[in-house]
Amino acid sequence: MRITRCLTLWLLLCALMLALLGSAQAQQDDPGKPLLEALASASYAAKSDAIDAIVASGDSRSRAWLEALNDGKLQQNKQTGQFVVVLANRGRNWPVEDALSGEPLGEMSRRELDRIGINNALRGQLRSTLAVLDLYVDNPDARLQAANDLLGQVDAGMVAPLEAVRDQEPSEAVQERLTEALAIYRLEQGDAQAIETLSGSLHPEARAALNGAAASDDPALAAQAKKALDGIEQTLKINRGFETLYFGLSLGSVLVLAAIGLAITFGVMGVINMAHGELIMLGAYTSWGMQQLLPGQPGLAVILSIPAGFLVAGLAGVAIERCVIQFLKGRPLETLLATFGVSLILQQLVRTLVSPLNRTVITPEWMSGSLVINDALSLTLNRLYVLGFALLVFAALMLVMRRTRLGLEVRAVTQNRAMARSMGIRATRVDMLTFGLGAGVAGLAGVALAQLTNVGPNLGQSYIIDSFMVVVFGGVGNLWGTLVAGMSLGVINQVLEPWAGAVLAKIIVLVFIILFIQKRPRGLFPQKGRAAEG
C-alpha cells in the first residue's frame, strides 16, 4: 500500500512539474513577451521604440497593454520578472492578472511589484498611439469607426502617425475620413488649403471647423470658409428635403395600411366603421402577444405576427359584421353609432384583460439602426421595413381584387349590388368576407405600427380620422386612390409640421380636403358603376 501511495504521489508531482514547465515554456514562446521586455528598458528612447513595435505587431492585446502602461498599471514582479496588470491599486495588496495570458493571479504586495515608468513625452505618444491603434485592425468597418472618432480630435503628435496609416490604408472610405481629420486639424492651425478638402464634407466636426475659420481675423481665410459653408448648406437643404420625403412616405405607408381596409368595406357595403381603429389595435396587441409567447426571439415573433394579426383582426371583423352590421344595412347613422359602441367595448375589453398601460414591442436587431446615406442623411430601418411592407400588402390586395373570384364578386357588388344578386352572387356572403378582409388588413396595420410606437388601448383612435380622410380624398372603394391619397397626405403632413405644428398641420390638411371635395366630391379616383352614379 505504501509503495502504491508513493508512486501515486510521485506521479502527481511529476504531472505538476510538467504543467509548470509547460506553462513556463508557453510564456517563453509567447511573442508578446519580448515586446513587454522592451518596455521594461531603462531608456525612454527604447520604450518609445517598444511602443511603436507593439502597435506594428498587430497583437490583439496591444490596446490593453498600452492602456495599462499609460495608467501606471503595467508592472513587473521583482523576483520572477513576470509582467502583470494591476486591477485595483488601493491598499497594500493589489489584485493582479498575468499580462500575457490574462489569468488572475490573486493579490500581490505592492512592494513585490516594479512599475514600468514613463515620462510626459511617452504619455503624449501613448495618447496618440491609442487614438490610432484601432486603425490597424483587420475589420474595415472598425477602422472606419476609428477614423470617424478621430474627427476633431487630432493633435500635433498624431499628424505623422495618421499620415503614415492613411498612405497604407486600402479602404477609400477610411482614407477620406483620415484626410478630413487631418484637414480639420490643419484648418484649426490656420491652413487655408484645408478648406478645399472640407468644402464637400457634411460631417458636423468639419462644419464646426469651417465656422471657426469663418470667424477668423484673416479676411481671406474667413471668405473661403464662408463660401465653403454656403455650398455645404445647399447640400444640407437637399438632404433635409429627402429626409422629409422619407418620413412623409413612411407616415403615408401607415395611413395606407390603416385606410385600405376601410376603403374596401366602405366601398362595398357603404358602412362607416368607427371600430376600424380598434381592429388596428387588435393587430398591434397580437404582435405584442406573440413576443410574450416567444421571449428572446423578437424577429420570429414579428414574422409570425403578420398572419396572426391578420387572422385575429379578420375574425373580429367577421364577428362584428355578423352580430351588428348585417342587421343595420341601409341605415348609415345607426351603423356609425353601433360601431362606435363596439369600439368602446373593445377598448375596455383590452384594458380589462391586458392593461390600461402602454406596452412596448421589441424591435428585432435586423430592423434596428439606420441605413446611412451620408453624414447628413440616414434612413431608419424600421420605417423602411414598414414602407416596404405596406407596398407588399397593397400589391397582394390588388392581386386578390383582380385575380380571384372573391375580388370579382367584390367589384361586382361595389358597382351594382342589385345586378350582382341577379347574376347569382351571394351579396351577404361577399359582405361578410369583405368586412373580414378589410379588418384583417387593419390588423396588419397594427402589426406595422407596433414597430414604430407603443401599443395601447387608444392606439387606433389616432388613425381613424386620418383613415377616413384618406378614403374620401382618394375616392371611395378605389385602392389606387387610397395609395396615392395616403402617401400624399403623409408627405403634406410632414412638410407642414415643422413650421405649423402637428395640430395646425392637421387642420390645414382637413381644410384642404374639404375644399377639394367641394370641387371633386368623388375624390381623386371616382368609383365607376351604376352604384356610384346613383
Residue-level pLDDT at 190: 85
* Phi and psi, residue 347, nearest 5°: -60, -45
* Ordered structural domains, the chain, with CATH: 238-533 (1.10.3470)
3-state secondary structure of 511: helix
Grid cell of 259 as nine digits: 385606410
| pLDDT at position 532 over 70 | no
User: What number is the average pLDDT over the span 423-430?
Assistant: 81
What is the rounded distance in angstroms from the CA atom of residue 185 to the CA atom of residue 77? 42
- Place 20 in a pLDDT band, splitting at 50, 70 and 90: very low
User: Looking at residue 249, what is its pLDDT?
Assistant: 92
For residue range 81-114, list pLDDT tens digits in order.
Answer: 888 888 887 777 888 888 888 888 888 887 888 8
Is 155's pLDDT higher than 80? no
Over the stretch 458-516, which tens digit does the pLDDT of each residue have?
A: 888 888 888 888 888 887 767 888 899 899 988 988 888 877 777 888 888 888 888 88
3-state SS string over 330-362? CCHHHHHHHHHHHHHHHHHHHHHHCCCCCECCC
Q: What is the pLDDT of residue 307?
A: 94
**Predicted pLDDT of residue 5:** 58
Among 225, 196, 193, smallest CA distance to 212 is for: 225
End-to-end CA distance of the chain: 112
pLDDT class for 433, splitting at 50, 70, 90? confident
At 16, the pLDDT band (50, 70, 90 cuts) reads very low
Predicted confidence at residue 279, as pLDDT, reads 93
Tell me the pLDDT band of 375, cut-offs 50, 70 and 90. confident
Distance of CA 138 to CAs 32, 133, 165, 169, 440, Å? Answer: 19, 12, 13, 11, 49
The three cell numbers of residue 420 are 350582382
pLDDT at 533: 45
Q: Which residue has the higher pLDDT, 528 or 35?
A: 35
At 510 the pLDDT is 84
275-327: pLDDT as tens digits = 988 999 999 999 999 999 988 888 899 999 999 999 999 999 999 988 888 88
Query: What is the average pLDDT score of the chain?
Result: 83
Closest CA to 75 of 51, 99, 95, 53: 99
Query: At residue 428, does pLDDT exceed 60?
Result: yes
